[in-house]
Amino acid sequence: MILMVSGRTDIVAFYTPWFLNRYKEGFVDVRNPFYQKLVSRIEFKDVDAILFCTKNPLPIIPYLKEIKKPILFHITLTPYLKDIEPNVVNKKAIIQGIKEISNIIGKPYTYVRYDPIFINQKYTIDYHIKMFERMCQSLDGYIEHIIISFLDDYKNVRKNIKILNPKKLTKEDYKKIGENFSQIAKKHHMTVQTCFEDENLVEYGFIKEDCLSLELAQKLTGKEKHKKWKARTGSKCNCVEMVDIGSYNTCSHLCKYCYANYEEEKVLENRKKHIPSSTLLIGKLEKDDIIKKRKK
């Protein structure tokens, strides 16, 4: 089993003490987002590896050596300012954190996600190219892989459309991004790929790869049997199956393009229900909850 921490919220940035408590106790409970009374119990002895997804890895860095599991990091590093990412910490600090993580777990397991990309009058393609170059230059020697994606039509995006004011990307836009990003990444000894996109940009030098491929999962865990992510069957995603332990509408970054906060007004309410000692990320177990152990 590969644990995803987390695609539904930024556990590393805002809930690291809770995660460490769960790791030390040996299990974590996760509410089913579609049927709240159903709780999945995951025992860490059944976990083969952990994928940490975060915009701010700093809180967990001092504790990484205490986690005796194979670790993969996806660290999102974007060029947007406070109008788009109101609560993301200083990007220079994040870059330093990426370097520290790379030194601990190794370059092959330290990925940077430059996503999502969107353009408007302020955040132009030339702006992205300049910032992508600056990022790659800063991380030369510390990472090997970069993943990008483009803005999707999520509920939260529609709510914030006047703030984002995104321009529809044309074929020429994709070409300019693809050619420039490919050249910059190659110059700094990195690969660049898309995630789950119709426009995969391979014709401009991007590699065709999954965010967590079967080969990477085998290398990370030492085990050969990994299934495709069932929840994404029929989609363009070919990543191996992972188990997400997060909860939606709980991330205080409040990024205007986020898919995981689809009701921002609930974030503060949910965060008030967080108890670091609870087995659940938000709230605690109730008498009528149905707890089922997650099979390995």
What are the tens digits of pLDDT across the range 264-287?
889 999 999 999 999 999 999 999
**CA 43 – CA 45 distance, rounded (Å):** 5
pLDDT score recorded for residue 230: 59
Least confidently predicted of 52-56, 83-87, 215-219: 215-219
Tens digits of per-residue pLDDT, 134-192? 999 999 999 999 999 999 998 999 999 999 999 999 999 999 999 999 999 999 999 99
| Res. 46: pLDDT tops 80 | yes
pLDDT at 213: 84
Helices (H) and strands (E) in the chain, counts: 8, 10
Instruction: Report whether pLDDT(243) > 80.
Output: yes
Report the chain's C-alpha Rg in angstroms. Answer: 19
Task: State pTM to two decimals.
Answer: 0.94
Q: Mean of the pLDDT values across residues 35-54?
A: 96
Mean pLDDT of the chain: 94
Q: How many CB atoms lie within 10 A of CB 21?
A: 16
Q: Which residues pair with 207 in a beta bridge?
A: 193
| Cβ pair 221, 48 in contact under 8 A | yes
Q: Are 87 and 47 in contact, with CB atoms under 8 Å apart?
A: no
Reported as type and span, the H/E element at residue 54 is strand 49-54
Domain parsing of the chain, residue ranges? 2-293
What is the pLDDT confidence band of residue 262, given thresholds at 50, 70 and 90?
confident
Mean pLDDT of 26-44: 95
